Amino acid sequence: MTDTPAETTPPPAEHPDTLAELTAKVDKIFDILATRGDGEAGSESEPEAEPDVKTETRNAVAEVRRREAARKKRAEEKAASEARLKAVEEKVKEKPPREYRRVEQFMRWADKEQ
């Protein structure tokens, strides 16, 4: 047997839904669409409260202090690095090589520092 569309669908109602029923259905659809993201049924999303001036000021001051501390830390690390390099440079500092000939040694012109 083959089902035809006329057999499976119920007969249409003679009177359309009342205005109150249509309004309730529309409200239900809006509720479903409003809660689609957060999953809570029946609750409307509330706008986030804007932070007050006191909170914004505290956050800004904390950010300035954090940046200032980071700047000081970088300056200290740079100074320590430069001091280390200077110490190594002084330690490794060489005198230029000097050639001694036998004549200089014979006449005692050679440096007496060595």
Model confidence pLDDT, tens digit, residues 25-56 = 888 888 888 887 555 544 555 666 777 888 99
* 26 neighbors 34 (Cβ within 8 angstroms): no
Only one residue has tokens 């954090």, namely 66
- Which pLDDT score is estimated for 95? 74
55, 56, 78 from 59: Cα distances, Å: 6, 5, 29
Only one residue has tokens 């300035």, namely 64
- Which pLDDT score is estimated for 42? 47
* Domain range list for the chain: 51-93
Model confidence pLDDT, tens digit, residues 65-105 = 999 999 999 999 999 999 999 999 888 887 776 676 777 77
- Which pLDDT score is estimated for 12? 54
pTM (two decimals): 0.38
